[in-house]
Amino acid sequence: MAGSTNRILAGGNKVAFVTVDDGTTPTVGATWAYVLDGNILSTSIAKQDSGQFDISIEHVEDNAALQTFLEASIVTTSGGIEELLFEDGTRELASTSSNTKYIAIVRGGLAGGVSSGKRKVGVIPQRISSTSGGWDQAGETYNRVTLEGQGFKLAAAITVTSGLMTGYMTTPTAVTLTTSLPYGTVVYG
């Protein structure tokens, strides 16, 4: 089939979240906060006008560990102070919000062409959306729990170590999100 060498078929069926402390000297956690592995039906990554990536994952994993992750991650606001969305697409959290920020690693499918044998991988700053955690249930089908993330802009450069990339890239290497890539990047490795 002509041209098929530069196509990617299907996805990598694995997404993981590692905590990130954002600010002038951001740091990345040493281990994964949550890994969704093997139960993903589809992953949608939408790039917004601002440059941020938003993630929506359709999956059938439904257990106590997922619920704990969602409850610990979702933004909550008290005191009537609103979260602001500026016209350039950047967000500022309310001063009384509890919020966990992550770097999501989205394992994609194997690439062809000059990248043959490498995986397309998204390395994307995310906050778990407050719409996550709902589910659909029906007779003779598995529950589908919503898992959605909103991208955000990092304040400074961070590096995701090669150890955290193990299992996501064919040849794991460290990935640095620079100030020119504050919303995340796509790598082949």
pTM to 2 decimal places: 0.83
Compute the mean pLDDT over every residue in the chain, rounded to the nearest whole number: 87
Model confidence pLDDT, tens digit, residues 74-99: 866 554 556 777 888 776 666 545 56
Close Cβ partners of 177 (under 8 Å, ≥ 6 residues apart): 103, 123, 125, 154, 157, 158, 159, 160, 184, 185
Separation of alpha carbons 133 and 169, rounded Å: 28
Q: Return the residue matching tokens 């704990």.
A: 68
Model confidence pLDDT, tens digit, residues 26-83: 889 999 999 999 999 999 999 988 889 999 999 999 999 999 999 888 866 554 556 7
**Dihedral sign (CA 171, 174, 178, 181):** positive
Boundaries of every domain in the chain: 14-188
* Residue 115: predicted pLDDT: 78
At position 49, the amino acid (one-letter code) is D
* Residue 45: predicted pLDDT: 94
CB atoms within 10 A of CB 55: 23
Pairing of strands 101-110, 34-37: unpaired
Separation of alpha carbons 74 and 77, rounded Å: 10
